[in-house]
């Protein structure tokens, strides 16, 4: 299978800092729902939910976040190259441990910040996981100008990603940090 080319979490954090210098704000802990290895696709996907801290009337009460690590190798026997035990379709495999600075990722989050700031450029730079997000007029209760496909806020807000770079929201950052803390991902 050809190697997946795209972005790493570390490169997305660096590109994010062009638009938003400083540290990424903290958020609540993720509730990890699934860890899915795909032996044939050479990837490992992690899905988590976050409780929304700033509940907007009519808004979401939780956010769904997905991180997909690509170019993961799987073997049937544990080795120094593949030390991490996982199960796929009832079989035990060992996989390489993803690294935030080296492993290519695709990701998504259903929070408003990700939608309005990052998804369009993550798609453009091959870092969007799942289906392309639609351009509805009611994603977060704000209206959308459907001119060039880029997300804009309601009147007066304008384009949020003026650097035109891919990046991550605080939920994706928190999920990546949780996986590092668990020892399932290396910095």
User: Does the structure show a pLDDT above 70 at 43?
Assistant: yes
Distance separating alpha carbons of residues 48 and 61, to the nearest angstrom: 14
pLDDT score at 141: 45
Give residue 125's pLDDT.
86
Q: Residue 58: its pLDDT value, please?
A: 60
Cα–Cα distance for residue pair 50/110, rounded to 1 Å: 10
If one compares 41 and 27, the residue with the highest pLDDT of the two is: 41
Q: Would you state the pLDDT for residue 177?
A: 93
Asked whether the predicted pLDDT for residue 154 surpasses 50, the reply is no
Closest among 25, 30, 24 to 51, alpha carbons compared = 30
Residue 158 has pLDDT above 70, yes or no: no
Measured CA angle at 86 (ends 77, 5), to 5 deg: 95
Distance of CA 143 to the CA centre of its chain: 24
Chain center to CA of 46: 9
What pLDDT, on a 0 to 100 scale, did the predictor assign at position 123?
86
Instruction: Tell me the H-state helices in 20-159.
Output: 112-113, 119-124
Instruction: Give the count of beta carbons closer than 10 Å to the beta carbon of residue 37.
Output: 19
- Please tell me the pTM assigned to this model: 0.83
Q: Is the pLDDT of residue 137 over 90?
A: no
Q: What whole-number distance in Å separates Cα of residue 29 and Cα of residue 34? A: 15
Mean pLDDT of 30-39: 92
Residue 155 confidence (pLDDT)? 45
Per-residue pLDDT tens for 86-129?
998 889 999 999 999 999 999 999 888 888 888 888 888 888 88
Place 144 in a pLDDT band, splitting at 50, 70 and 90: very low
Tokens of residue 46, six digits? 């992690």
pLDDT tens-digit readout, 59-71? 668 889 999 999 9
């Amino acid at each position: 299978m050809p190697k997946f080319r795209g972005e790493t979490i570390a490169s997305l954090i660096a590109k994010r800092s062009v638009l938003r210098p400083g540290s990424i704000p903290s958020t609540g802990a993720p509730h990890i729902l699934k860890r899915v290895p795909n032996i044939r696709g050479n990837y490992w996907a992690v899905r988590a939910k976050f409780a929304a801290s700033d509940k907007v009337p009519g808004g979401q009460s939780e956010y769904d976040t997905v991180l997909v690590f690509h170019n993961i190798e799987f073997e049937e026997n544990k080795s120094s190259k593949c030390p991490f035990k996982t199960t796929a379709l009832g079989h035990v495999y060992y996989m390489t441990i993803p690294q935030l600075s080296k492993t290519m990722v695709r990701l998504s989050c259903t929070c408003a910040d990700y939608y309005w700031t990052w998804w369009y450029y993550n798609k453009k730079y091959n870092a969007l996981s799942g289906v392309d997000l639609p351009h509805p007029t009611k994603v977060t209760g704000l209206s959308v100008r459907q001119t060039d496909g880029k997300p804009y806020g309601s009147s007066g807000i304008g384009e949020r990603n003026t650097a035109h770079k891919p990046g991550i929201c605080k939920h994706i950052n928190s999920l990546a940090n949780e996986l590092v803390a668990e020892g399932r991902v290396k910095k």
